[in-house]
Structure 1
């Protein structure tokens, strides 16, 4: 599962890393070391551009960094009340489930992350780990997105939401949890973002090469509370010396 992660780079850096254009227009949140469901997050998308009259140019595509709300709301939903429960979509069923299949076929994105948090069961409490690449590179979490229209008075405004795909854990990730985010290797980025590719089934298997390069770092249980949000949450701590857990608003596994 992916229920918390860290997003530390600004849109300009992400745009350079993902060969995209920063289209956040000043709406991007600052660094977030404890991203929780329903927060605003940066995501990378690739679409056919439209002209001033809304006509789509099918001959080219544009890759951009945009801001989305974490927790998918299908376009047909009556309200946004279920968003916090739809932060993840299982890669095994994302092409079949009514809430996800249209987005999986037509609206895919990459959710950039410095790493994600996972909690390993233990005696009396769960030990949090920060799972991250060993360098300063950014993880490309496979995501899907949707547009839900919110009525505000006489106007309807779009709310763009997203979910992160998960898969069965492989390699060392199985030592912490039985699920993990689907992390895309660089050679899958273009295909995953391709707006004309409507069957991404071949892209849904986790990459062992990616997993083998990740580091599992035990961190403080301060991350349990979304009230805590600073770089120290990603710092390593000796196992067994973490602080007493704090209450949380969301489940940890």
Structure 2
């Protein structure tokens, strides 16, 4: 995943608020990138919004970490505790990838095929202010034509399972969604 999100506040805020039963609020940003604020959703006794900065910079890393591979997130010391205790959802209108075509980079938008929000799986860090790392999976066939990874997408029927399961129980969710859930549009 390249690290650019598309967030369109209307109808995203209304749909997310209705699905989760909370007052979800976000601002439109059709090029949301790492180091910027991302509106996420966490759950304890109920769902609540957490605004987090996208990316973490551990002491050992020379660069900002924005993604973690879902296949290893429960094993890596950098991510293990947050994956166990601080999972979140990242509601968005879509994400972008670029592909080299005839010597030029061409931008593509990936969005829900039914004009619904996409809910990416993520993990939060709370050292001083909340920080976000999004999770990625091996892509489905459609998305593999554009990038070797895609976001872990959690469908609404699996929200409670996402928040209340052990890392081992989550293994069935750690895969790409069906091709027909995602539309790809040339920008």
- How does the TM-score come out when normalised to structure 2? 0.88
Q: Is the 8 A contact 1:106 1:198 kept in 2?
A: no
Aligned to 1:171: 141
What is the rounded CA distance, in whole Å, between the counterparts of 1:78 and 1:85 in structure 2?
10
1:131 matched to 2:110? The reply is yes
Post-superposition offset of 1:15: 4.4
Task: Mark the CA change 1:15 to 1:185 in structure 2 (over 3 Å): closer, same or farther.
Answer: closer
Aligned to 2:56: 72
Post-superposition offset of 1:98: 1.0
What is the rounded CA distance, in whole Å, between the counterparts of 1:2 and 1:190 in structure 2?
28
Equivalent residues in 2 for 1:2-151, closer than 5 Å: 2-9=2-9, 12-13=13-14, 15-22=16-23, 30-47=27-44, 61-72=45-56, 77=58, 85-149=64-128
Secondary structure of residue in 1 paired with 2:143: helix
User: For 1:187-234, what per-residue CA distance to the aligned partner results, in whole angstroms no more than 9, with x for missing partners?
Assistant: 21111123xx332333212222xx322111111xxxxxxxxxxxxxxx
Q: Is the 8 A contact 2:36 2:54 kept in 1?
A: yes
What is the rounded CA distance, in whole Å, between the counterparts of 1:203 and 1:130 in structure 2?
23
User: For 1:57-93, what per-residue CA distance to the aligned partner results, in whole angstroms no more than 9, with x for missing partners?
Assistant: xxxx1111221111135xxx559x86x6211111111
Q: In structure 2, list runs of 5 or more residues that go unmatched.
A: none
What is the rounded CA distance, in whole Å, between the counterparts of 1:96 and 1:174 in structure 2?
25
Post-superposition offset of 1:14: 5.2
Q: In structure 1, list runs of 5 or more residues that go unmatched.
A: 48-60, 150-158, 220-253
Q: Is the 8 A contact 1:166 1:182 kept in 2?
A: yes
Secondary structure of residue in 2 paired with 1:183: coil
What is the rounded CA distance, in whole Å, between the counterparts of 2:153 and 2:96 in structure 1?
14
Over the residues paired in the alignment, what is the CA RMSD in angstroms? 2.3
Q: Is the 8 A contact 1:20 1:65 kept in 2?
A: no
Task: Mark the CA change 1:100 to 1:164 in structure 2 (over 3 Å): closer, same or farther.
Answer: same
Q: Is the 8 A contact 1:22 1:66 kept in 2?
A: no
Aligned to 1:212: 180
What is the rounded CA distance, in whole Å, between the counterparts of 1:206 and 1:36 in structure 2?
22
